[in-house]
Structure 1
Amino acid sequence: MPGDTAPIDFSGLIREGDLVVCGQATAEPVTLTEALMAQSEHLPAFRMMVGPIFSETFSAACAPHVSFQSYGVIGNARRLAKAGRLDMIPSNYSAFCADFASRCHQADVVLVQLAESGGRLSASLSNDYVIDAARGARLVIAEINPDAPFTFGAEWPGDVPIHIRVAARRPPVELPSPPLDDVSQRIAAHAAGLIADGSTLQFGVGRVPDAILSSLSHARNLGIHSGLINDAVVDLIERGAVTNAEKGIDAGITVTNQVIGTKRLYRFVHENKAVAVRPTSYTHGQGVLARINRLVAINSALQVGLDGSVNSETLNGVAIGAIGGQLDFVRGANASPGGRAIIALPATASDGTGRIVAHVETVTTPRADVDAIVTEWGIAALRGCGLAERARRMIAIAAPEHRDVLAEQLRGRPR
């Protein structure tokens, strides 16, 4: 059982069958989640809803009567999935968040990390589903973290009670940018040609999106309206490439749903009125995205088929990715005046297998929504193309050693 040094004793707070929801990614309230996992063996069986995990908190070795659910297998959530401890909810990120507001998902206990400034509270690094989950929860426990930035747009609503407050024992989780490699830089060189001055960018986490952002320091009047921002955005703003002047909405404001990076980024967004951490209904809303000028959605994938179908979820029947906000932003970019939807990925996986395939095993983004696929070998512009031309263009951007096999598979004579 927890001793006197525990930040909180969960005995009597967690009930049998509870759904416990905690902040995701860098917004994870680690002081609370670590205490909960440490005490889980002595608590009734409960379910834990998690998003991307970038901490070391959740282990497959935790109490077997704790079950986990998520909308994706991102970061260290892969450990839970590999151990068969993670139940996947196949939802678009926008729908997953909306399901808390509609009570399709009903949280019992919510654990949240908050920033405090001048008596005001902010959800700080993420404005996702936690507030709506808390609105309907029996118990809301807040970790007040003095190192978490106070962000505008994510202010904690006055009508959502906080029942217990705990002082944070460590700074927020950080996720440094991965080092760039030759392949990601080659992909970025191709993708940058699709991004005109005055474009508004959406992007995800990872080496390829970071490489693309790093290649845009020469651009002018870029905007940001994204599911997340990272340290690379600070670079673009400080170099004058991002001004948010031509977005059509939110002039001068970088708009995001989550802040995922390092202390440098957290210092930058702290009480910065030029950054708005907005709810998912705004950052991912189709009506909002369609009003943005030249929205360029930059997403990745595990596989892309010769017909353009995109798989970002599974390989060999195992979930290792997520639907996330990919389809939200692909469709939003397609509806945006002058918008582009880019799926960027290495042509070859780390084990040497090709990521351009005859047929994907799971369809995350349907072929009807696909615009441009980019690998280190070039760009396959697919919008408006027939299936035969799509296949030709996709084979041209596959790794050279896989092209003949793909061509034979296309002809129905697999080698």
Structure 2
Amino acid sequence: MPVATSAIDFAGLIRAGDLVVCGQATAEPRTLTEALAEQSFGLPPFRLMVGPVFSDTFNRADTSNISFLSYGVIGHARKLARAGRLDVVPSNYSAFCADFASGRHRADVVLVQLAVSADGRLSASLSRDYVIDAARRARLVIAEINPDAPFTCGAEWPDDVPIHLRIAARHPPLELPSDAPDEVSRRIAANTAALIADGSTLQFGVGKIPDAILSSLTHARHLGIHSGLINDAVVELIERGVVTNACKGIDPGITVTNQLIGTQRLYRFADRNKAVAMHPASYTHDHGVLSRINRLVAINSALQVGVDGSVNAETLNGVAIGAIGGQLDFVRGANASPGGRAIIALPAVAPDGSSRIVASVETVTTPRADVDAIVTEWGVAELRGCSLSERARRMIAIAAPQHRDRLTHQSKPMT
């Protein structure tokens, strides 16, 4: 089917009560989502499923006719959540994707950004997430064909999933450059790097701290990557010879990921590169797969960690501003991996000056029984196998000094 135009009229395509699913993060098909946002007030009320939102698409128009739904609150989705307009499905990323594959979640309309090869083959490009499974059962699939999107291996669009309408992209793919590390993130990175042995395989998230950690590993050797996402820092490590994927135990020589979140440097590197494999969450986040990886080091973050080790990555003051995402998938996978480590790395202090190490968390994302090591700029708390009282002592030692006396008082029954 030929590409028609970059213009689209959603009148008659969107029905009342429809669930519309669009590509997430850097895979957002902005030609389509911008048109949908601009036209939404004239459409019947519908729901829109989003993941991480790194554009301002939904903040620039009157989108009051849209009810937003997501598996977490990341990026600009926080503005929707604070306005009470985003409903959250509290699900592990692996389970959320599986629900589309099984039909528990059913999309009516799917909007997707695709790359095209010289011979006309299509690729989901920047994300091998739930969109293909959502499209398999959808009434209508609209594809934005983007000549600047990389054709990625493993994300090829299945021949048996029809595309009903194609339009030409008006924008290059969204980019998310790395933030320059600050002093706190550099100290956290140094403490975390000390836990990462040569030959480890890494999983990590998005943000200043994981970027700083990756940038601090230029001394390491024979690292591997098996992660829900990769970014520009991975390209740097591969080009320096730090990441070889030689010791993983599975997928030798291959960087495995579910999403690309970075800039054109990453996209050009991944384009038609068989050494970068895009896989669905049924592989990247699968416990059986993760447990077979040698020395899997899962690096995730949190909004709060309790002195007992319980991790909260979802809410503050009752408001959803984070996500379960793949944290628990990878924590449990790393704990089952031979020589694996599950690391939660976070600043000891929030932007408002409050302590991120707390007497008790308001929401438990990762239970204390699954926690291995907590890292702040003040050190490392090794918690695996520790009693509650010993956990409290170790956690208070890596809290910011100005909060330690209060935490010790609040934690008296444990300490």
Structure-2-length-normalised TM-score? 0.97
1:72-111 map, 5 Å: 72-111=72-111
Aligned to 1:267: 268
Letter in 2 for 1:56: D
Cα distance change of structure 1 residues 337 and 412 upon mapping to structure 2, 3 Å threshold: closer
2:244 and 2:66 mapped to 1: Cα distance? 46
1:326 lines up with 2:314 in the alignment: no
1:225-240 map, 5 Å: 225-240=226-241
| Partner-residue secondary structure (3-state), 1:58 | helix
Q: CA offset at residue 355 of structure 1?
A: 0.3
Between 404-413 and 171-180, report the one with greater CA deviation. Answer: 404-413
1:57 lines up with 2:57 in the alignment: yes
1:44 lines up with 2:44 in the alignment: yes
2:56 and 2:312 mapped to 1: Cα distance? 28
Q: CA offset at residue 63 of structure 1?
A: 3.2
Aligned to 1:338: 339
Structure 2: 5+ residue runs without aligned partners?
none
1:3-402 map, 5 Å: 7-59=7-59, 62-117=62-117, 118-402=119-403
Structure 1: 5+ residue runs without aligned partners?
none
| Partner-residue secondary structure (3-state), 1:21 | strand
2:205 and 2:58 mapped to 1: Cα distance? 23
Letter in 1 for 2:152: T
Letter in 1 for 2:365: T
1:321 and 1:146 mapped to 2: Cα distance? 33
Q: Is the 8 A contact 1:22 1:111 kept in 2?
A: yes
1:387 and 1:27 mapped to 2: Cα distance? 43
Q: Is the 8 A contact 2:6 2:169 kept in 1?
A: no
Q: CA RMSD in A?
A: 1.3
CA offsets 1:119-161 (integer angstroms, 9 cap, x no match): 1100000000000000000000000000000000101000000
CA offsets 1:324-354 (integer angstroms, 9 cap, x no match): 0000000000000000000000000111100
Q: Is the 8 A contact 2:6 2:31 kept in 1?
A: no
Q: Is the 8 A contact 2:358 2:407 kept in 1?
A: yes
Percent identical across equivalent pairs? 79
Letter in 1 for 2:102: S
1:410 lines up with 2:411 in the alignment: yes
Q: CA offset at residue 65 of structure 1?
A: 2.3
| Partner-residue secondary structure (3-state), 2:90 | coil
Q: CA offset at residue 103 of structure 1?
A: 1.1
Q: Is the 8 A contact 2:200 2:295 kept in 1?
A: yes
Q: CA offset at residue 412 of structure 1?
A: 5.8
**Count of residues in correspondence between the two structures:** 410
| Partner-residue secondary structure (3-state), 2:166 | strand
Between 60-69 and 381-390, report the one with greater CA deviation. Answer: 60-69
1:327 and 1:62 mapped to 2: Cα distance? 36
CA offsets 1:250-278 (integer angstroms, 9 cap, x no match): 00000000000001110000000100011
CA offsets 1:4-47 (integer angstroms, 9 cap, x no match): x9611111110110000000000000000000111111111100
1:61 and 1:13 mapped to 2: Cα distance? 19
Q: Is the 8 A contact 1:179 1:207 kept in 2?
A: yes
Q: CA offset at residue 62 of structure 1?
A: 2.5
CA offsets 1:141-189 (integer angstroms, 9 cap, x no match): 0000000000001010000000000000010000000110000000011
| Partner-residue secondary structure (3-state), 1:337 | coil
